């Protein structure tokens, strides 16, 4: 997620840096109560914190392969950018278990 300033020195000269989209799950939670109307149809769904191989941590959705697939810590994952949901102009960042 883009920041408005550097969390360490509060500098505002930021830039975009390409990343591989690969990382490891650091933490996860299953959401049963949607925070807004757009997300209601997706419940229950997983939200994960993923530590990218390049270092930064991002929050995103997790798309399970099946009902038994849980994003436990250290699960290796690959990023996928999904089209914006209806009612939202923002693309949705999601991860799937690394094949």
Q: Which residues bind Zn ion (CB under 5 A)?
A: 6, 8-9, 11
Rank residues 6 and 41 by Cβ distance to Zn ion and give the closer one: 6
Distance separating alpha carbons of residues 90 and 84, to the nearest angstrom = 5
The DSSP string of 22-33 is EEEEEEEEEE-S
Shortest spacing between CB 83 and Zn ion, in angstroms: 33
Rank residues 8 and 33 by Cβ distance to Zn ion and give the closer one: 8
Distance separating alpha carbons of residues 23 and 17, to the nearest angstrom = 15
Rank residues 12 and 36 by Cβ distance to Zn ion and give the closer one: 12
């Amino acid at each position: 997620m883009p920041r408005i300033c550097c969390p360490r020195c509060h500098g505002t000269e930021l830039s975009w840096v390409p990343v591989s989209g690969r990382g490891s799950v650091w933490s996860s939670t299953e959401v049963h109560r949607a925070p807004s109307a757009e997300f209601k149809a997706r419940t229950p769904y997983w939200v994960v914190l993923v530590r990218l191989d390049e270092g930064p941590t991002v929050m995103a959705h997790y798309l399970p392969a099946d009902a038994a697939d849980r994003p436990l810590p250290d699960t290796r994952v690959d990023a996928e950018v999904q089209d914006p949901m209806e009612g939202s102009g923002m693309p949705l960042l999601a991860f799937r278990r690394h094949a």
